Amino acid sequence: MLSDLLGFGSYCPDGETQISCPPGSYTDLYEQFACRRCHWGWYQIQAGQTTCLRCGLGQFCPNATQLPQSCPAGTYSDLYGQVKCRPCPKGYYNIQPGATYCTKCFLDVECSNSTVSPKPCATGYYNPLYAQTQCRRFPAGNRTIHIPGCLNVNG
């Protein structure tokens, strides 16, 4: 019979020797013969624990024995307990690690790379739609003018 001293966060595989649950596992019950592994998207970096910790927003947890990692630029995690981050959809971007969402690209910018800020369309090109990855060439006879600041076109 297991000792009355065998407590939470420990197990006794041979019925006599108490061992702390290793990182990546836990037990929240007395007198266990084995520890439970942390579920996917959860982690525990310390031995002898009674719970695992859930991976947070903007993070992913590919390994239950390591701390969460921030989602890299161009990806995001909008749910708890993720094992990998989702890539930004085409026409969206984020430049900061640990993002929980991606930003939609505006008009007259090019969003060909989801890991950098959008860049304005070059002279002679335009973009009439949101969330586009490339600018379009103006038809012959039309052109663009880049003027910094605001411009009142109504007079």
Instruction: Write down the domain spans for the chain.
Output: 1-54
Question: Half-sphere exposure (CA, 13 Å, Cβ side) for 106?
Answer: 6
What band does 13 get if pLDDT is binned at 50, 70 and 90?
A: confident
**DSSP run (H or E) holding 12:** none
Distance, in Å, from the CA atom of 59 to the CA atom of 45, rounded to the nearest integer, reads: 16
At 68-120, the pLDDT tens digits run 999 999 999 999 999 999 999 999 999 999 999 999 999 999 999 999 999 99
In this structure, what token pair is assigned to residue 72? 């890299």
In this structure, what token pair is assigned to residue 42? 């959860």
What is the reported pLDDT for 145?
A: 56
pTM: 0.77
Class of the CATH-defined domain 1-54: mainly beta
